[in-house]
Every structure is written in structure tokens, then in C-alpha cells.
Amino acid sequence: MNRKAKSSHSSAVLNQKQRQPNRKTVNALAKKSRIEIVSFNHSTSGKKTRKQSSNSTNSPPTPHKQRIVPQRRRKKRSKKPIIPTPLKIVIRLAVITVGISTLLGSAMSIANSFNTGIDSPVAVIPETTAEHQQQLEKTFSLVTLAEPLDDLKTKVQNLIAQYPKLQAEVFIVDLDQKNYLSLQSAESISAASTIKLPVLIAFFQDVDAGKIDLQEKLTMTKELKAGGSGGMQYQETGRKYSALYTANQMMVTSDNTATNMIIHRLGGQEKLNQRFAEWGLNVTKLRNPLPDLTGTNTTSAEELGMLLIKIERGELVSLRSRDRMLEIMSKVKTNTLLPQGLERGATIAHKTGDIGSVLGDVGMIDMPNGKRYVASVFVKRPRNDPQARTLIQKISQVTYQHFKLNPSRSFLEED
């Protein structure tokens, strides 16, 4: 081969080698490509990865950079600590404060509810406390009394003095002039069957509220049957009576079985005691079913008299229920106490009570001359002493004669 040809061959071989990539360069590029792919797949920010990729393309790959890439990956995986801003701190503190306040408030409410549950069964206010006086003034605000009936008081005291073995409680109010007589009338005394008067008021309150239908049927059970007065005890157990008939028997014949049925229908004695307290009554309270021969159910001449005054004025019950109540009470069978002191033409709506230790009668009297008054008289006595009946009759007679000789116009006429 001549020199020229050899020179041409060498140049061709050299050009071919220059066109072929160096093996080391290929390996480096391959490694670079793999490293960049790994970085892209495991990065947490697409923008940063693309930026790194563009930088890597412009700079030659080196072993040093290949070792750095894993370190950057570890840094990206680790989370930077979050430093809360002042606003977030304030918000969190406020939330914590509100939460603690809510928990403390709930705890106090629970504690108060426990205390209320302990105190609530006894709702009667002691008679001697100022709270009781305020309660009575609020409840009987429209029954403000006027002047004491001194002349009548002297006459009644003289009568009582004739019976040293007896202790009388007397409360009399002129419904027209609001003048009154009170002798030991606020003292607690065994109610006997006079407790049926506030029970009847509660009954008609529920009638007015639509809670009781007068024609609904009440069942006489064995547990509700009671001895003493009334004839329902002799009827067959399980027999049903209308609510109105049962209420009538409770008052007219003083039927103890009927009374227990009405008390049961009204929710029991504790429910009734709460009602009595809401009316402002201090000593009127049920403690046992009827008949209460030991006298544990209590009241006072003043409280029952005040109830009649409120009923007459259309308070506590509607006017329709008031009229129905007074009609029922005007049919009471026992007429041996207050009615015996009245004259012909007078009418009385009342309720009596009679046990061995106490005899009583409370009623509203209408006189032929238009005078109206309330009389509430109780007498403590030696067991079944008949003189108690005589004393009540004489107190009724003296009172009637006093108003007969001292007539006065009613408020309506004066107005």
C-alpha cells in the first residue's frame, strides 16, 4: 500500500473512533440517568426535581454528585418542625380555656342537680321563717285582710273558755269587708277528712288543664280500698267509676276509697304535697292514705279558709270548676257542725273532718241578707269527746248572728 492510501485509511479509522462514544462516557451517562430517575420518583416536590434534573444535564456527572443524591433524598423525607404563629397560639389557648370552662360548668351542674334531688322531696317551708311569710303574702296577695273582728273575737273566746278540755282553732273572714277573726288559726292540726278539700282543688285543676276527663273511668283496686266512711269499699274489686262520680263520693259521703282513687289518679301524695307547697300552703300535707285515723295528715284552719277565699274569687281553678266544686260541697251529708248554727235561708258549701282526736268543719256561707263569709273551725279534744261538736255549733251560731246584726254592703255594691 502506498503512503497516500495508508494516510487515507488512518484518517477514516480516526473519524470512526471519534463518532463512537467513549465506553466510560456511556457508563457515566447511564449512571447519571439512573440517579436522576430515582431522584424524580422519590422527591416530595415536582418543581425542585425538575430543577435538579436541568442542573444535572448541564454539569458533567461525577462520582461525588452520585454520593450526594441519596443524602438529599433523606433530607427531603425528614419533616421540618412546624413553628406555630402567634395567632395560632392564641386560638389554641382560647379553645383549651373554653373546654376547661365547659367541663367545670358541667361538673357544677351535676353537683347542683344532686343537691336539688336531695332537698326537693320536702317542699314545705317552716312556719316561723321569713321565707314562709313572704310566700304566703305572694300566694294570697289578692286576699289581703282588713280589720280584726274584735267584738266577734271576744264572744268566741268566751265560748271556748267554757270548755277547758278543748283547744279550738278559729279562722273567720267577711268576704265583703275582708274583716277577720283568727284564734290560733295558723297552727298545724290533724286534717282528718278536711284534707279532701285541697285534693278536690287539685282534681279540678287537672280537669281545667285537660289532664283529666270527668267521664274517664277509674278502677277501684284492692290496694285503694279503705275502711271508715263511704260505701264504695263494699263494692266488687275492679269495678270502674267515672272520675266525676268518684270526686263526688269523696266529698259528699266523705268516701275514703274514692279519695284514695283520686289521689292515685293525681300522681300520689308526694305530687300533691308539691302542689300544696306551690300554692303557698305551709302545713297542709298528705302523709298517709285515707282513713288517717292517727292524724298524720295535717292542715290549719287558716290555710283551708284561705283556699276557700281563693276559690270564691275564681283563683286556682276556672269559674266553671269553681261553681261545680261549690255545688258538690253544698251536698255534703254530714250537717252536724257548722250548718247547725245557721238559720233558714242560708246555704253552706263545706267539708267536715272527724277522727278521735280532732273534729273540724270548713265552709263558705251565704246569708239571706247577701252577706258572705268563710268559717274554718277545728277542735282538739279528748278521744271522741262530744263537747267538740257542741262548741263548733255554738261558734257557728255566734258568728252567724254577728253578721246578721251587722250587715254591710258587698264590694260590688260599693264599687
Question: How many angstroms separate the Cα of 100 from the Cα of each of 58, 86, 105, 357?
Answer: 61, 21, 9, 61
Please state the rounded mean pLDDT for residues 146-158.
95
The Cα 281–Cα 197 span in angstroms is: 13
| AA identity, residue 374 | V
Q: Residue 343 in 3-state DSSP?
A: coil
In a domain? residue 360: yes
The Cα 69–Cα 36 span in angstroms is: 9
Query: What is the per-residue pLDDT for 251?
Result: 98
- The string of pLDDT tens digits covering residues 315-362 is 999 999 999 999 999 999 999 999 999 999 999 999 999 999 999 999
Beta strands 372-380 and 358-366: pairing type?
Answer: antiparallel
Pair (308, 377) in one structural domain: yes
Q: CATH number of the domain at 375, please.
A: 3.40.710.10
Confidence of residue 56 (pLDDT cuts 50, 70, 90): very low
Q: Which of 363, 217, 355, 238 is nearest to 288 (CA)?
A: 355
Pair (282, 353) in one structural domain: yes
Query: What is the per-residue pLDDT for 142?
Result: 47
Pair (35, 152) in one structural domain: no
Query: What is the per-residue pLDDT for 94?
Result: 62
In a domain? residue 265: no
Select the more confidently predicted residue: 125 or 99.
99
Query: What is the per-residue pLDDT for 146?
Result: 87
Pair (323, 352) in one structural domain: yes
- The string of pLDDT tens digits covering residues 298-321 is 999 999 999 999 999 989 999 999
- The string of pLDDT tens digits covering residues 226-258 is 999 999 999 999 999 999 999 999 999 999 999
Pair (179, 160) in one structural domain: yes
Query: What is the per-residue pLDDT for 406?
Result: 85
In a domain? residue 317: yes
Chain CA centroid to CA 315, Å: 22
Show the cell assigned to 111. Answer: 353537683
- Cα of first residue to Cα of last residue in the chain, in angstroms, is 159
Look at residues 58, 77, 96 and tell me which one is the last residue of a structural domain.
77
- The string of pLDDT tens digits covering residues 130-140 is 554 454 454 44
Give the residue numbers spanning the domain of 108: 88-120
Query: Number of folded domains in the chain?
Result: 3
Query: What is the per-residue pLDDT for 24?
Result: 52
Pair (28, 137) in one structural domain: no
Q: Which of 153, 144, 154, 215 is nearest to 177 (CA)?
A: 144
Query: For the ranges 71-85, 258-272, 374-388, which has the lowest average pLDDT?
Result: 71-85
In a domain? residue 39: yes
Query: For the ranges 85-89, 161-165, 167-171, 359-363, which has the lowest average pLDDT?
Result: 85-89
DSSP codes joined into one string, 255-308:
-HHHHHHHHHHTT-HHHHHHHHHHTT-SS-B--SPSP-TT--SEE-HHHHHHHH
Pair (69, 160) in one structural domain: no
| Mean residue pLDDT across the chain | 79
Phi-psi region of 33 (alpha: psi -120 to 50; beta: other; left: phi over 0): alpha
Query: For the ranges 59-63, 152-156, 251-255, which has the lowest average pLDDT?
Result: 59-63
Query: What is the per-residue pLDDT for 100?
Result: 63
Confidence of residue 127 (pLDDT cuts 50, 70, 90): very low
Pair (28, 114) in one structural domain: no
